[in-house]
Amino acid sequence: MSPPPVPPVHDGRRDSTDEHLDRWLPVLPDLDPDIEGAVTRAMLLTRHLRHAKERSLAETGLERPEFETLHALAGRAMRATPSELAAALRLAPASVTGRLDALERRGLVRRTPSAADRRRIDVEVTGAGEEAWRAALARLGREEERLLGALSAPERAQLAALLRRVMVEAESRAD
Instruction: Give the pLDDT band (50/70/90) at residue 5.
Output: low
Query: What radius of gyration, in Å, describes the C-alpha atoms of the chain?
Result: 22
Alpha carbon distance 77, 69 (integer Å): 13
Q: HSE-up of 88 (CA within 13 Å, CB side)?
A: 18
Sheet of 121-125: strand order equals 79-80, 121-125, 109-113
Each residue of 124-154: pLDDT tens digit? 999 999 999 999 999 999 999 999 999 999 9
Q: Where are the domains of the chain?
A: 16-60, 62-141
Each residue of 64-95: pLDDT tens digit? 999 999 999 999 999 999 999 999 999 999 99
Multiple choice CATH, 62-141, 2.60.120.260, 3.40.50.12370, 3.30.43.10, 1.10.10.10: 1.10.10.10
What's the pTM?
Answer: 0.76
